[in-house]
Structure 1
């Protein structure tokens, strides 16, 4: 396999996918609308086709022009888009759909491919754009992959949990890095033992390549850090990467309510906990980056950026109200 087409390819996961396959001697073409800066504009081994993946004609034209061996679909958000792509690219060596750990419909610990049921998806959810339908839409996209494989298409799915690392425009982790970097005392919701499994973005890109090369058609593969940490553990990793100390102050529902906050107002807090099994992917030879190294790279990228993530949690004034309440207890 030598030629890769990335549907997407200029922002977060797609950007790292391009780098991963380039590092393994693939010629890469990205296909997107060109609405974002292209980090590969000057790269001789990366071509670009402009078009709208939701337009069937544009997608078919991209398939003819790129003539890829491998397709990585980073921006399929509706089941119809996956069904169309698996028809357009039915002759490639590998079509990899980037799904999500949100596709699972039951809170197993851990969630396992082929065991934990997927979300149901209604007709209304299949065309909706809301966050509440994200998991059902990804689950239905997975089912489109499975159906395509039954027709003989070399289609597979990769399910990352929440992704972090360089160029993360979502700014979810940036909220916590900013807090630890600027203050010596911060509020962590709950008792700090909350778990929301995460996946380092370079490992996600590596998993996608590994699945494209060695995965089985009709299979789905979870992607997550092989070592999982709690919310407190994440804060500790950030502090270590910043070479600083921070005092963590835990706040429960009652203390947060005094400042009109809830546990869910803090990004990366999740109840119930969320964890993905990754043994299936590891059996393909995939390994994850040591989590302290991954966090160091994420922190370095944050410091080089203008991201602060402050929209993902309470402002400092509100946080200090909570700290004041806790200090009186």
Structure 2
């Protein structure tokens, strides 16, 4: 089949492209060439999706069986792409986010739940990440003349991760020694590999499926303690985890999710449903996910080929805690416990 990937050189986009090529598809990518090199074997079209002339040049004389949009964040911009490509493919698969679900994670997510209130022509300042993703979904659903497939992934990890949550933890744990481990080691997580999201998206797009799917791993497919343990095992580290109480970390000024990746702080109503996303509809449609330990091992195998001083821990936000701050918090925790 002929496939167009909007993006295709970053994290999830690269996984989609690699999987599509492995299936024997002809793949075109459309991007600015700034996020990394395209996967070998694609037809790479350089352009900016915010420039009408670039979209026109992309669409001129070309058609595809389906489009996979991995780089849409602003409804107005996504809508322009949809209008340019409508009639050029049978299916438009948009990679959204669980964050687009109205009320989540304070309220439970539901299969095919409504998205946050956001117009399909909203601009970049008309909401936060999740709100704008909901507007992007509407831009696809209302503007594309064909099948509109909306994929709402949960927390994605895996090789080539450019948010660098797992890469930071792998690097830190590989150094060994006493490692600040946040909160409750038994806290359940719900993680999914980018390659599994890519495979599911391609499966549905090949079938011409439309509608919305929540796509992530099974609830509780790892605990926080198991996840860090997988990192220790993969790296062969002698790390000693020191589990520090949630509230103590907050009192010490530790930052959730970014400074200590995937740590959400003390349990609260605001985040109560973050790790309990239902996936029955996606599973019935064929979603299969690999063990978290495999994702961790494969990510380390990729990461270890990159010199440590060249590793990026988040293109927009610097992930991870500074060694000095970690040492200070550990010392304070040990003094409190003495």
Is residue 156 of structure 2 the alignment partner of residue 168 of structure 1? no
Cα drift, residue 309 of structure 1 = 3.3
Partners of 1:86 and 1:153 within 8 A in 2 = no
Number of aligned residue pairs: 319
Residue in 2 that maps onto 1:19 = 18
Structure 1 equivalent of residue 263 of structure 2: 269
Write the deviation string for residues 215-253 of structure 1: whole angstroms up to 9, x where unpaired.
532x11122123622322210111122234533222235
Q: Answer yes or no: is 1:96 the counterpart of 2:93.
A: yes
* 1:113 equivalenced with 2:120 (yes/no): no
Contact 1:162/1:197 (CA < 8 Å) preserved in 2? yes
Q: 1:304 matched to which residue of 2? A: 305
Aligned-pair CA distance for 1:286: 2.4
- Structure 1 window deviating more from structure 2 (268-277 vs 22-31): it is 268-277
Q: Which residue of 2 aligns with 1:61?
A: 57
Distance 1:172 1:235 in 2: 12
Aligned counterpart for 2:129 among listed residues 119, 127, 134:
134
1:280 matched to 2:281? The reply is yes
CA contact (8 A) 2:120 2:135 kept: no
**Aligned twin of 1:221:** 213
Give the CA deviation at 1:110. 5.3
Mapped partners of 1:23, 1:263: distance in 2: 38
TM-score normalised according to structure 2 size: 0.85
Runs of 4+ in 1 over 6 A off after TM superposition: none
SS in 1 for 2:213: strand
Q: Matches of 1:322 and 1:143 in 2, distance apart?
A: 45
- Whole-Å separation in 1 of the counterparts to 2:334 and 2:17: 49
The CA distance in 1 between the partners of 2:229 and 2:157, in whole Å, is 16
Whole-angstrom distance in 1 between the partners of 2:187 and 2:50: 38
Counterpart of 2:324 in structure 1 is: 317
Pick from 177, 185, 197: which aligns with 1:192? Answer: 185
SS of corresponding position for 1:88: helix
- Using the TM superposition, give the Cα deviation of residue 128 of structure 1 relative to its aligned residue in structure 2, in angstroms: 2.4
| Deviates most, 248-257 or 27-36 | 248-257
1:95 deviates by 0.7
The verdict on how the C-alpha distance between 1:137 and 1:257 changes in structure 2, with shifts beyond 3 A counting, is closer
What is the CA distance between 1:289 and its match in structure 2?
1.5
Q: Does 1:243 align with 2:243?
A: no
1:293-313 Cα offsets, whole Å, 9 max, x none, are: 121101211212232639422
Q: Are 2:120 and 2:139, in contact at CA under 8 Å, matched by a contact in 1?
A: no
Structure 1 residues 145, 261: CA separation in 2 closer, same or farther (over 3 Å shift)? same
CA-atom RMSD in angstroms = 2.6
Supply the distance in 2 between the matched residues of 1:252 and 1:245 (Cα, whole angstroms).
22
Asked if structure 2 preserves the Cα contact closer than 8 Å seen for 1:258 and 1:322, the reply is no
Tell me the SS of whatever aligns to 1:186: strand
- Stretch of structure 1 that moved more, 246-255 or 296-305: 246-255
CA-to-aligned-CA distance 1:95-116 (integer Å, 9 cap, x gap)? 101111111232267522224x
Following the alignment from structure 1 to structure 2, what is the Cα–Cα distance between the partners of residues 222 and 36? 26
| Matching residue of 2:268 | none
Give the Cα separation in 1 of the matches to 2:244 and 2:59.
53
Q: 1:178–1:308: 8 Å Cα contact kept in structure 2? A: no
Give the aligned partner of residue 30 of structure 1: 29
**Partner secondary structure for residue 27 of structure 2:** strand
Shift of 1:195: 4.6
Q: TM-score of the superposition, structure 1-length normalised?
A: 0.87
